[in-house]
Amino acid sequence: MVFLTWSESSTGVLTDIDEIGRYLRDQNKILVADAVSGLAVSPMHMDDWCVDAVVVGSQKGLMLPPGLGVVAIGPRAWEKSRRSTMPRYYWDWTKYRSAVPFTPATSLFFQLEASLQYIHAQGMANIFQRRAEVAERVRDLVRRSGMEVYARRPGNGITGVIPPAGFDMDALIRRLEQDFDIQIADGLGALQKTMFRIGHVGHVTNEELDYFIHSFETCLK
């Protein structure tokens, strides 16, 4: 089995999972994708890309509070589970095929239903087009500000930003929060002091986007 992060939250990179999936299928491997920050933000074609299981959380593109884990399971993964002899209880998928076997977070289920109704009412093509438009406006802001987009192939939910040498990222992050109630994040791990991240998963209105752009440019000045 191969576990792969599709939408990489710490950098904004969107992995070439379509090519990787087809290669792994030729190797007879099971591919499990972490799509937490990518689902309902960038198009995911699970069957065409030979992805056997997709795992997401409720708090990103599905536009809910955190608390739900959602898993899509393909036929090869079901067969792998059926053959497996590893002891399991909560992670026994067969328990979930007809009903929720344990007490669920009911309020989040209702919110998920509402979110999915909204997504389908908009249409998936319109959802992805809107996410791409928002992402491109953020990336355009970054470039106009004399900074670089970290990812060569960025997703539509997170923009990793490389500022010029000597730029005070901590001051920018602090001012955005203190003066404009906007939170962005620094990098993670080895990239913590060399980049920062702007999140734009889920529904972002034109008013919110304009406010962010104005606030960002004001802080830079």
Are the C-beta atoms of residues 40 and 62 closer than 8 Å to each other? yes
Are the C-beta atoms of residues 18 and 49 closer than 8 Å to each other? yes
Are the C-beta atoms of residues 54 and 36 closer than 8 Å to each other? no
Report pLDDT for 8: 93
Element (H, E) at 109: helix 106-122
Q: Looking at domain 2-122, which CATH architecture does it have? A: 3-Layer(aba) Sandwich (3.40)
CATH class of 125-220: alpha beta
The pLDDT > 90 percentage for the chain reads: 89
Report pLDDT for 97: 86
CA distance 177 to 183: 5
Are the C-beta atoms of residues 185 and 191 closer than 8 Å to each other? no
CA distance 127 to 149: 23
Label residue 41 by pLDDT band (50, 70, 90). Answer: very high
Per DSSP, the chain holds a count of helices (H) and strands (E) of: 6, 10
Instruction: Give residue limits of the domains in the chain.
Output: 2-122, 125-220
- Per-residue pLDDT for 58 more than 90? yes
Label residue 218 by pLDDT band (50, 70, 90). Answer: very high
- Per-residue pLDDT for 93 more than 90? no
- Residue 168: C-alpha distances to residues 152, 173, 178, 184, 218 (Å): 24, 9, 16, 14, 15
User: Please, what's the b/e burial string for 51-73 (b: 16 or more CB within 10 A of its CB; e: otherwise)?
Assistant: bbbbbbbbbbbbbbeeebeeebb
Phi and psi at residue 211, to the nearest 5°: -65, -40
19 CB burial (10 A radius; 0-12, 13-18, 19+): exposed
Q: Where are the alpha helices (DSSP H) in 1-105?
A: 17-26, 75-83
Report pLDDT for 98: 83
Mean pLDDT of the 91-115 span:
90
Report pLDDT for 91: 85
Task: List, for residues 120-150, the tens digit of each pLDDT value.
Answer: 999 999 999 999 999 999 999 999 999 999 9
- Per-residue pLDDT for 112 more than 90? yes
Are the C-beta atoms of residues 158 and 200 closer than 8 Å to each other? yes
Rg, C-alpha atoms of the chain: 19
User: Which single residue is written with the structure tokens 């069957």?
Assistant: 47
Task: List, for residues 156-174, the tens digit of each pLDDT value.
Answer: 999 999 999 999 999 999 9
Task: List, for residues 167-210, the tens digit of each pLDDT value.
Answer: 999 999 999 999 999 999 999 998 888 999 999 998 999 999 99
- Per-residue pLDDT for 30 more than 90? yes
Label residue 100 by pLDDT band (50, 70, 90). Answer: confident
